[in-house]
């Protein structure tokens, strides 16, 4: 759907303002109900038994003692699920191990009992006979021909010879001639970069409550980013029709991509089916870290050539991402996004999807892109400084613009990268003085933004208020955005509209809340649903006035005659039309469903100042500024929050966060005491600059903003730390021991 009024900027009355968030009171008073808050009469408690080994064959499971324990109502193993469709085989295998346990924390059995104490005791009574197998947790080690194999016979034909069967697939993107481009360069930088696996760090653990009746009808309440996905996946696993399972999304205490998959839900449904009672399951923090998807750890080779005036002549990257125990790492999106900010004649990326004995990777805010940007933006920075060139000017010289053929194929329409770079260059942060042991870093980042299946209904009530029903959980302010766009389109006040998240039985299919799709796609559908409602209200007014429908228009919240030839009639407001709707044809509603296309790509530039203690290697973030194109900032406060949140998570990824596995393949830091996410005292105030380069694919020009803010921080901070420490940092996180070792190595001590 094209941008409205593309010939001149549109003046908005509601969109672009900062009204109170509609869920604010419920959240601060504790009235909002999250995944663990729902209860049901006769509810049982579900618990999961997890593997203590990184890789082991399950020889035998004896559940007889657990089943005999008073209070135990059901016990489930993989055998209870039977055969499942191929497209969900890995999903159920991750939820409940089959022949092998593939990582520390892999679920092998579950119980439903009358209390948590009984459930815990029952787990201790389950005897599992394991044959411990060799394991591998490092991505490069997993690729070697002699590495322990997780899945034999599943390697795709795209993988060349010489790699182990843990290398599941290979992707390639690019154009031009890399060798020719490198030959034209005055200098070539070739480096290997590594990043640790990091968890999304959401505060709310996974939780659900399942009820399955004897008639096969089931209800599921869960914290998720996509309850339609949960319905479709669980129905396939349990052999149900999708219409038999109604899923309601609770409020969500953080997701960031980590709640776009199922973990407990199929198990809870099966336990409920066997027990004949509702079953509630809630993960502990240790379970969340051991058994739910972090992002990939990576190893990336980059080779970039540049002329002495700062022109990039060629860019090559080989990206190796481990996706945990099952195929599906985000290496394809990392490969596509690595060089996306630049207009390059010669560019190529090659990506390998690798399995290891770790929990299956899940999305984490622009999945795959931050690691790729860390590698590429670090190399570009090193080249720029090697020629004593301004890093911002080098990026401006090579920046992708409207008409650029992207490194991954398409031609860019109107985009905002250049605007973010110009804003960064003009910002006082760029020229602020630095002190001793301090450094400043910049980096650019990119994300695609998605569209997908979307369905919205807008109902006008008899008193003239409006309810918008959408099918995407609100994880970043979408209820406010939908409310604002509906109010804008209808010409009524913000407080006359309420947006609710409907269950799966109330609306058609909706994609998951991910990929920065919701404000774009659901907003588009909301606007069109409002326009459908306006057309109906104009029709009702025309009926009352006795004129043609075409002679009525909607202006400032009311139906009006379109011109003097339509006759003299007083405007009829939405409230007035709604009050007599029963006499003019019945209820008034607008509905719209679409597989949304036209999502606008998103770019950002980050700038950060750090101070490195040369005696300890500790890094302090002094100042941080985010510049990003939002297309149109529907609710600027939410947009700023997204910018700041992505920067904060990037700071944690760059400096502290990583999964640490022992030689035995067991996770060593399965808790927030040892897995350290940033806290307020670690952070400065994060400044934001919103740019608005309209997305031509949305009627209001909206672009998604939630993913891009986490893409540049890793590289921007690494560039700043490298300058402050006097040594190029290539491995993340840049923890104090790692930075100190690099400083001492540089000094020869």
| pLDDT level of residue 6 (50, 70, 90 thresholds) | low
Same fold, 51-133+206-282 and 451-596: no
Tell me the average pLDDT across 594-622.
97
Q: Rounded CA gap, 438 and 378, in Å?
A: 17
pLDDT at 201: 97
How do strand 497-501 and strand 466-470 relate by DSSP bridges?
parallel
Is the distance from CB of 382 to CB of 312 less than 8 angstroms? Answer: no
Tell me the pLDDT tens digit for each residue of 470-482.
Answer: 999 999 899 999 9
Q: Between β-strands 207-212 and 279-282, what pairing exists: parallel, antiparallel or unpaired?
A: antiparallel
Instruction: Give me the sign of the Cα torsion angle 172, 512, 250, 212.
Output: negative
In the chain, the percentage of residues whose pLDDT exceeds 90 is 97
Alpha-carbon distance of 116 to 267, in angstroms, equals 16
Q: Pairing between strand 347-354 and 167-175?
A: antiparallel
Are 361 and 260 a contacting pair, CB within 8 Å?
Answer: no
Q: Domain limits of the chain?
A: 51-133+206-282, 297-449+600-748, 451-596
User: Are 562 and 573 contacting, i.e. CB atoms less than 8 angstroms apart?
Assistant: no
One DSSP character per residue, 350-364 reads EEEEE--SSPPP---
The predicted pLDDT at position 7 comes to 65
Tell me how far apart the alpha carbons of residues 361 and 294 are, in angstroms, rounded to a whole number: 5
Mean pLDDT of the chain: 97
> What backbone torsions phi and psi does residue 365 show, to the nearest 5 degrees?
40, 100
When pLDDT is cut at 50, 70 and 90, the band that residue 565 belongs to is confident
Tokens encoding 737: 């021991």
Q: What is the Cα 711 distance to its own chain's centre?
A: 12
Q: What confidence category does residue 323 fall into, taking pLDDT thresholds of 50, 70 and 90?
A: very high
Q: Which CATH architecture has domain 297-449+600-748?
A: 2-Layer Sandwich (3.30)
pLDDT at position 656:
96
Residue 746: the pLDDT is 84
Q: Name, in order, each residue with C-beta under 8 angstroms of 687's C-beta and a sequence gap of 6 or more.
A: 429, 623, 624, 625, 626
- Torsion, Cα 703 652 329 192, to 10 degrees, reads 110
pLDDT confidence of residue 297: 98
Query: How many whole angstroms separate alpha carbon 139 and alpha carbon 320?
Result: 7
Q: Which two tokens stand for residue 339?
A: 């060089």
Bridge partner list, 235: none
What percentage of the chain carries pLDDT values higher than 70?
99
| CATH code given to domain 51-133+206-282 | 3.90.1170.50
Per-residue pLDDT tens for 17-33? 999 999 999 999 999 99
DSSP letter string over 580-603? TGGGTTS-EEEEEEEEE--PPPEE
pLDDT tops 90 at residue 260:
yes
State yes or no: pLDDT of 259 exceeds 70: yes
* DSSP track, 214-260: TTS-EEEEE--S-HHHHHHHHHHHHT--GGGEEEEE-B-S--TTTTS
> What pLDDT was estimated at residue 1?
73
- Which pairing describes strands 56-62 and 100-101: parallel, antiparallel, or unpaired? antiparallel
* pLDDT over threshold 60, residue 749: no
The terminus-to-terminus CA distance of the chain in angstroms comes to: 62
Residue of 660, 678, 667 whose CA lies nearest to 288? 667
Backbone conformation region of residue 365, classed left if phi is above 0, alpha if psi is from -120 to 50, else beta: left
- pLDDT at residue 3 in the model: 87
Is residue 59 exposed (0-12), middle (13-18) or buried (19+ Cβ within 10 Å)?
exposed
Burial class (CB in 10 A: 0-12, 13-18, 19+), 242: middle
The dotted CATH code for 451-596 is 3.30.365.10
Alpha-carbon span 411 to 651, nearest angstrom: 32
Distances (CA, A) of 497 to 368, 554, 632, 697: 37, 18, 21, 25
DSSP 289: H
Query: In angstroms, rounded to a whole number, what is the distance separating the alpha carbons of residues 365 and 386?
Result: 32
Element (H, E) at 499: strand 497-501
Q: Per 3-state DSSP, what percentage of the chain is helix, strand, and coil (rounded to 5)? A: 30, 25, 45
Give residues with Cβ within 8 angstroms of 211, minimum separation 6.
40, 218, 219, 220, 272, 277, 278, 279
pLDDT beyond 80 at 8: no
């Amino acid at each position: 759907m094209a941008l409205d009024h593309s010939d001149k900027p549109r003046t908005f009355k509601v969109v672009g303002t900062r009204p109170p968030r509609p869920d604010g009171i419920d959240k601060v008073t504790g009235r909002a109900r999250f995944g663990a808050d729902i209860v049901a009469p006769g509810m049982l408690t579900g618990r999961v038994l997890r593997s203590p080994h990184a890789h082991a064959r399950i020889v035998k499971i004896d559940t007889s003692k657990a089943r005999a324990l008073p209070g135990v109502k059901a016990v489930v193993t993989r055998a209870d699920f039977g055969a499942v469709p191929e497209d969900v085989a890995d999903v159920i295998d991750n939820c409940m191990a089959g022949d092998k346990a593939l990582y520390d924390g892999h679920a092998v059995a579950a119980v439903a009992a009358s209390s948590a104490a009984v459930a815990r005791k029952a787990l201790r009574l389950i005897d599992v006979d394991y044959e411990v197998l060799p394991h591998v947790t490092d991505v490069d080690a997993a690729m070697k021909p002699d590495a322990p194999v997780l899945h034999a016979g599943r390697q795709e034909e795209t993988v060349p010879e010489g790699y182990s069967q843990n290398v599941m697939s290979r992707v390639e993107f690019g154009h031009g001639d890399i060798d020719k481009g490198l030959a034209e360069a005055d200098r070539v930088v070739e480096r290997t970069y590594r990043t640790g696996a990091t968890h999304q760090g959401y505060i709310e653990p996974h939780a659900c409550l399942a009820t399955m009746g004897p008639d096969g009808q089931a209800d599921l309440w869960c914290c998720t980013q996509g309850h339609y996905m949960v319905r479709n996946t669980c129905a396939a696993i349990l052999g149900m029709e999708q219409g038999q399972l109604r899923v309601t999304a609770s409020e969500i205490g953080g997701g960031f991509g980590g709640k776009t998959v199922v973990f407990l839900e199929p198990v809870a449904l099966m336990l409920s089916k066997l027990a004949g009672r509702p079953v509630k399951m809630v993960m502990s923090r240790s379970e969340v870290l051991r058994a739910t998807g972090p992002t990939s750890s990576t190893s990336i080779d980059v080779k970039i050539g540049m002329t002495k005036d700062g022109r990039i002549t060629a860019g090559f990257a080989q990206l190796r991402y481990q996706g945990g125990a099952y195929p599906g790492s985000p290496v394809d999106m990392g490969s596509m996004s690595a060089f996306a900010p630049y207009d390059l004649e010669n560019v190529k990326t090659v990506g390998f999807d690798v399995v290891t004995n770790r929990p299956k990777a899940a999305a984490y805010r622009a999945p795959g892109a931050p690691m790729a940007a860390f590698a590429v933006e670090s190399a570009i920075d090193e080249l720029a400084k090697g020629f004593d060139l301004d890093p911002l000017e080098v990026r401006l010289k090579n920046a992708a613009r409207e008409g650029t053929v992207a490194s991954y194929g398409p031609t860019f329409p109107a985009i905002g990268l250049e605007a973010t770079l110009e804003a960064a260059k003009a910002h006082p942060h760029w020229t602020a003085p630095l002190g001793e042991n301090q450094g400043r870093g910049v980096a650019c980042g990119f994300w695609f933004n998605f569209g997908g299946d979307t369905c919205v209904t807008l109902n006008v009530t008899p008193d003239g208020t409006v309810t918008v029903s959408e099918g995407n959980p609100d994880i970043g302010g979408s209820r406010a955005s939908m409310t604002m766009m509906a109010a804008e389109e209808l010409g009524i006040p913000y407080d006359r509209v309420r947006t609710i998240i409907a269950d799966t039985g109330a609306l058609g299919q909706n994609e998951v809340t991910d990929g920065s799709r919701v404000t774009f796609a659901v907003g588009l559908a909301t606007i069109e649903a409002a326009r459908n409602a306006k057309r109906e209200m104009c029709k009702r007014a025309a009926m009352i006035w006795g004129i043609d429908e075409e002679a009525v228009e909607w202006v400032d919240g009311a139906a009006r005659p379109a011109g003097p030839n339509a006759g003299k009639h007083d405007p009829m407001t939405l409230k007035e039309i709604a009050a007599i709707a029963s006499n003019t044809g019945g209820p008034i509603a607008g509905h719209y469903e679409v597989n949304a296309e036209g999502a606008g790509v998103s770019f950002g530039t980050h700038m950060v100042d750090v101070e490195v203690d040369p005696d300890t290697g500790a890094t302090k973030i002094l100042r941080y500024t985010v510049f990003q194109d939002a297309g149109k900032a529907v609710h600027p406060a939410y947009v700023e929050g997204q910018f700041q949140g992505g920067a904060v998570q990037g700071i944690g990824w760059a400096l502290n966060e990583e999964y640490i596995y022992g030689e035995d393949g067991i996770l060593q830091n399965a808790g927030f005491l040892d897995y350290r996410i940033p806290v307020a005292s670690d952070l400065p105030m994060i400044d934001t600059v919103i740019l608005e380069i309209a997305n031509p694919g949305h009627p209001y020009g909206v672009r998604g903003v939630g993913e891009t803010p986490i893409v540049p921080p890793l590289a921007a901070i690494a560039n700043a730390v490298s300058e402050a420490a006097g040594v190029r940092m290539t491995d993340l996180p840049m923890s104090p021991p790692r930075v100190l070792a690099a400083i001492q190595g540089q000094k020869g001590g």
